[in-house]
Structure 1
């Protein structure tokens, strides 16, 4: 797997193509919940980083950026309710197809869905206690990454956590084998492309400005963290 020695920032995921198969795209959105539950590590990230900044005396606000199929922000709402916290989550995605899928899901009290960029919210003067994203960083070019981090610093009052894949040979091999039972979607092909596009911890440290800390977390995660 010598091709994993360097980040392949020019590889393109099929679901990012505007002319991709809409049926396979819909299936991909549906399967994200299963894949993220297995590999995203958000239950650990929630317990270790997000839950400690939630308040029992006032509602907490959280912005989830690039929410895709919406399974992660919806999980945040459920976990907060389970843990006894009042949390309002705003899930944004600029892609009209992802936004349409998000809007098609059953309404969930405590969750607001918007089609927007982080720059739109900065322009509105919006502020949130927490800003998160899942599997977003590897999609961005250098300018877009700088913009996301600048906007996140402006929007997050207490904490920003961007969780993404860490590129490893073992992770690539396990994902390739583990997603074989998920036909009819872009999950396997795009997931492998995502790993090729993703950062190693040292590469991510070199790519981000001061004030952001790169943490490693199982399984095969980079966490980019900034505290307000």
Structure 2
């Protein structure tokens, strides 16, 4: 069957479809011995031989869907140039090559999905799908109604206004407050930058939900395989 090269790479778990396009344009992918840099190139997934960085790409893995409770101090990549521990180090006993769906900052803990399903990764990370992400944050100080409304209307981060978000104060601890923050985007360090913008920096940050999937009581550093019902929900988004 003919499929687009970037979709084939995503289906094989090499990267998300968007990232696969970057790999192709960077000249890191070849088909039948010829480097391909043109997006939209189609291949026969049964007859053509595809190589990434000189290694043959095989599409033999069964789809795997994982929820990890990421601890602080881990990077959300397969490898790190500074040799810091990565979330992949925590996925023991899984033979399939999985990649993180989106990112969580080095200092942020909580719910992180990993899969080898490239289509699902694309769906969950593309801005147009606006998948809800919920965080528990310990902030310096207590946001007032003005700060809450700024989140509601959008906060300017890196010169661009965010999509409407939700900030709820759950507990006022004096020097700190505990807040629930809901966003629908996935910009780099977005929650931290939004909190900086309202003058209530983050002390600690934990993602507790993605869409309708909740972290629950999954221990920090542990993972579980998603249920059939959860996978079906994610694919319905």
TM-score, normalised with respect to structure 1: 0.25
Higher strand share: 2
Greater C-alpha Rg: 2
Larger RCO (CA within 8 A; separation ≥ 6): 1
